Structure 1
Amino acid sequence: MSRRRFLLSLAPALVAPGWAARAWAATLPRASAVPGGVARIGLGASEQPPRVHLGGDRVLVMRDGDEWVAFVGIALGAKPGSKLRLEAEQAGGAVERFEIAVAPKKYASQHLKVPPGQVDLSREHLTRYERERVHLSEVLRTFTDSAPATLAMLQPAPGERSSSFGLRRYFNGRARSPHNGMDIAASAGTPVIAANAGRVIDTGDYFFPGRTIILDHGQGLLTLYAHLEAIDAAVAQAVPAGGVIGKVGATGRSTGAHLHFSVYLNAVAVDPALFLQD
């Protein structure tokens, strides 16, 4: 998709009648209780929203009509057949418990043979990676009380979307972590926009993802944009949906220019395609 066509396709979403925007948003994210998916749990009607936890992590809760609904991110590492247990505490202190049965989903795998030197990190690079991993893990646990206005997202750059979320690569028979985002094919310098209104909570130039921006959209819903050529937003800056925040690049461990786009919900990566209009 060319940049001009991308901007033209974006325009109707920004100026659509309220009823049309609400109808689109109400269907997103697409509920899918699988590893890397999002479960939707009805919590019933009450004046105040319940506080919902999955383990030690708060869960996003939004009103849908007359009832409250919890949107629960399911980790890629969740085992099919297992059950996730939620606790919902009402304003009066009453606690209700829910279970989510994790359904199976098969993701693609890729087996590659490469020289050993291209797989193992040097001691210096490993030390840097571990330091950045701890920092990013803390950032991705961010939870702010304000809920997002919508869970529907804009595609953050023009280009073909990959279906590589969840892909697990094996280098010389050794498994690597599954791919936790969507790659969007775009040339270097292409503007990158905020997929949803939010606040910049982290920017940096990291070993694997390169130049990266992370946005907080509220209640544990975060988006991450990686391999950027340029970062055009600052930490603590509020950005509107569709606002330019950077440019596509090939920084970090990247084989070529593209945008890596991730969505996080209650601190786990979920499939970005669930939040995007087809």
Structure 2
Amino acid sequence: MTSLARQGAILGFVLGLGLALAWAGLPRHRRQRLAGRVLPYLRDTPRPSRLLEDDRPVGGAIGLLAGPVLRDLGAVVERVLGGADSVRRRQLRAGLPADVDRFRAEQVVWGVVGAVAGAAVGTASVVLRGAGPFPVVVLTVVGAGLGVTGADYLLSRRAARREARMLIEFPTIAELLALAVGAGEGAVGALDRVCRLSRGELAGELRRCLADARAGANLPTALSGLADRTGLPSLRRFVDGVVIAVERGTPLADVLRAQAQDVREEGRRALMEAGGRKEIAMMVPVVFLILPVTILFAVFPGFTFFRFTL
């Protein structure tokens, strides 16, 4: 009797647990919370700066001392070089947050590293060759200047490389958008589908536009922000075509296909122009190196023959 009571209690417990789980799994109990409803519209939003996550100084006393010094030296570099708008524009083109003060601080760090390297080379020349202190001063100044200008050059190169990758990705992205729109998707739905299926720089920019559109901005404004962040004329024409198609109701798929074809033609023309420039550059060693050596080999036996004859 005790065994039957124990088995009945276990079966009753399992039955009650199953009924409780079934009751909790009913659709009325699986309503999505506010955070779950808002999350799909915010998942593509760019993360805020890490400087806003924690107000505690990084690096202890070194961070407390180095931060104001870097800011002051960065302000000096800004007053000397200027061009804050150009720096901000190139940072956006490179996919970086538009923070001129941080870039100036990085330039100061690069300048200090270059100055230390120049001073080390100058000191080595003084020790090994017995030169005066003038080379040390000159190499230190030159190293600091190369460090500051090198940071600016690397920013420009990073922006150019990113835009080159975007230009390579653009025809494929435009074709995918055209296929999605031709299949019946709207403009926002096509962007969402392409962003979920694509990877790359241009797909990241489109995710940012989609996040802006979901956050409340209309699609033309979000796409105009994409055109403003990049320096590619083809993307500017693409954005203008999409905006006009959305506002006037013209067939968007045809516009996207035409834009993709234009970009392919532009890439083909750029490739032909690069080939022409390389061909001219290849003539320099031919004219100034190979041709003189060939003439020398052709003329030298004759001079040798005349010398032995005379």
Q: TM-score range by the shorter chain?
A: under 0.3
Structure showing the higher strand proportion among its residues? 1
Q: TM-score by structure 1 length?
A: 0.22
Instruction: Specify the structure having the higher radius of gyration (Cα).
Output: 2
TM-score, length of structure 2 as denominator length: 0.20
Between 1 and 2, higher relative CO (CA 8 Å, sep ≥ 6) is seen in 1
Normalized per residue, the structure richer in helix is 2
